[in-house]
Structure 1
Amino acid sequence: MEIESVTRVDAVERIGHAEAMAVAAVENRRFAEQLAGFAAEDWAKPTDCALWDVKGVAAHVVGSAAGQASPREFVRQVVAGRPLRAEIGGAFWWDGMNELQVRERSALSPDALRAEWDVVSPKAIRSRTTLPRLVAGLPLLGLPAPVGRQPVGYLFDVGFTRDVWMHRIDLARATGRPAIHDAAHDGRIVADIVAEWALRHGEPCTLELSGPAGGTFTSGAGASGSGGEHVAMDAIEFCRVLAERAEGPGVLRHKLPL
């Protein structure tokens, strides 16, 4: 089958530091707009994140930004979250940290959460932007397979932004209020995710991802899109499968922490 406008994953230019900060700024603004659009009844609705309702997811994202904004606060959250990881049966070091962020904001009103986001999110961008490149290059992160050992910059450049983006999708699904997706912003995030995912698992495949954030990508296949498994689905749903919000067969069994 011949497919037009096919992009080979090894030709996707990965998101570097400068672009990453511009993407993060757009994503943070969209998250603020999303929170501003919620009605009072939305905040208690369940989400795909089993431990958290809408307010809990928002509290995690806000608390994460507070940690990004201040190295001292980041370390405090890591240390204080360690006992919570065991309490909730978390598998990774950040599970307790995330739970701490939610619990410490459990008494805040939606307006207070919005106000904190408005204060800490610009500080988080500034802190991430000015992170010394020597620090960013330190291979200190132990992440789940298939990612494995990564430099600090992996988290501060793209990891935190993917987290906000994925949770924006979670909140849209939970509330029934559609998220804004476009090719320039969301499509760039999806392309970067696709490239990393495909190059890590290494199986030949062709992806036809529909929707504003979509595109057609091949990995280990001919330029025409032939060879390997063929997957056709919505781009956002594809990312939900990778992030273990949904299941997928075949090559989709390969996950990527988002």
Structure 2
Amino acid sequence: MTSALAARPRTPALDRDVALRLAETEYDRVAALLASLSTQDWSRPTDCPAWDVRAMAAHMLGMAEMSASMRESMRQVKAAQARGGVFIDELTGLQVDERADMAPAAIAARYAEVAPKAVKARRRMPWILRRQKMPAAQLVNGREEAWTLGFLSDVIMTRDPWMHRTDIARATGAPMVLTAEHDGVLVDDVVREWFERLGSPVRLRLTGPAGGSWGESGPELEFDAVEFCRALSGRGTAPLDTEVPF
């Protein structure tokens, strides 16, 4: 990536209507997954070492509630900043801590209740706000970069629950519902960003319902689509050095 591109705040590549459709479907799939978990599933460890399934779901609920209300978003941001430390770690820690006393069933029920409100609030975000740069720089691939609030809302706020849905499915053995119409579109957006960040030609083939083929020259790579995304997020074992944020 050139320094000029690195200095420009990152904006969503997805069409807004597509981004909101992905958000609505992803929230629905997370809600269905949480509702399907057994009592034993909630205490299973995940690939995020500090979190079991219940803690991960508490974070996901906190993020959904943050998306659903500007007032709640501002409250969480201020509370996380007051804790000191790395902001994103303090924010996710706050979300888990504040929901430490919630029973699993209550987390699942509240997530299903707040998800439609989160989609509605994300849809209402005005274009002038979406174009604004986030106050804090984000560290990706060892470099600080700027994001717009639109990139956070349209892209990251959907990638995050999608990735955690893969975490919970792996932790519990629950089926990971995948379709080309939803997961395939999300993965395609990730791949296109990865190509931009990679900056070198490669032929990529991803297998599974969310897969596809990209690139016309360079070395050939083949992975399962979900495992490819997990590797880009720092999970898994695929030999990929270029990170994409989730």
Instruction: Tell me if TM exceeds 0.5.
Output: yes
The partner residue of 2:157 within 149, 157, 160 is: 160
The partner residue of 1:181 within 162, 178, 183 is: 178
Q: Which residue of structure 1 aligns with residue 234 of structure 2? A: 244
- Cα distance change on mapping 1:82 and 1:29 into 2, 3 Å: same
Q: Which residue of structure 2 aligns with residue 144 of structure 1? A: 139
Tell me by how many angstroms 1:85 deviates: 5.4
Encode CA deviations 1:112-163: one digit per residue, 9 max, x unaligned: 1012112211111111000010000012252222582111000101110000
Out of 232-241 and 106-115, give the one that drifted further.
106-115
Task: Write the mapping of 1:49-68 to structure 2, written as runs, cut at 5 A.
Answer: 49-68=48-67
Q: For 2:140, what is the secondary structure of its paired residue?
A: coil
2:131 touches 2:150 (CA, 8 Å); kept in 1? Answer: yes
2:197 touches 2:242 (CA, 8 Å); kept in 1? Answer: no
2:42 touches 2:54 (CA, 8 Å); kept in 1? Answer: yes
Q: Which residue of structure 2 aligns with residue 192 of structure 1? A: 189
Q: Which residue of structure 1 aligns with residue 121 of structure 2? A: 127
Q: Which residue of structure 2 aligns with residue 253 of structure 1? A: 241
Q: Which residue of structure 2 aligns with residue 7 of structure 1? A: none
Tell me by how many angstroms 1:24 deviates: 0.5
- Cα distance change on mapping 1:14 and 1:82 into 2, 3 Å: closer
Q: For 1:253, what is the secondary structure of its paired residue?
A: coil
Q: Which residue of structure 1 aligns with residue 103 of structure 2? A: 109
Q: For 1:52, what is the secondary structure of its paired residue?
A: coil
Output the CA distance in 1 between the equivalents of 2:41 and 2:82. 31
Output the CA distance in 1 between the equivalents of 2:222 and 2:51. 31
Tell me by how many angstroms 1:106 deviates: 1.0
Cα RMSD, aligned residues only: 1.6
Encode CA deviations 1:219-251: one digit per residue, 9 max, x unaligned: xxxxxx3x32211110000000000012332xx
Q: Which residue of structure 2 aligns with residue 210 of structure 1? A: 207
Counterpart of 1:246, as a letter, is G
1:247 touches 1:253 (CA, 8 Å); kept in 2? Answer: no
1:204 touches 1:228 (CA, 8 Å); kept in 2? Answer: yes
2:210 touches 2:225 (CA, 8 Å); kept in 1? Answer: yes
TM-score (norm 1): 0.86
Output the CA distance in 2 between the equivalents of 1:111 and 1:200. 40
Alignment gaps of 5+ in structure 2: 1-11
Output the CA distance in 2 between the equivalents of 1:248 and 1:177. 22
1:144 touches 1:257 (CA, 8 Å); kept in 2? Answer: no
2:76 touches 2:91 (CA, 8 Å); kept in 1? Answer: yes
Q: Which residue of structure 1 aligns with residue 3 of structure 2? A: none
1:16 touches 1:157 (CA, 8 Å); kept in 2? Answer: no
Q: Which residue of structure 1 aligns with residue 17 of structure 2? A: 18
Is structure 2 residue 223 aligned with structure 1 residue 228? no
Q: Which residue of structure 2 aligns with residue 76 of structure 1? A: 75
Q: For 2:176, what is the secondary structure of its paired residue?
A: coil
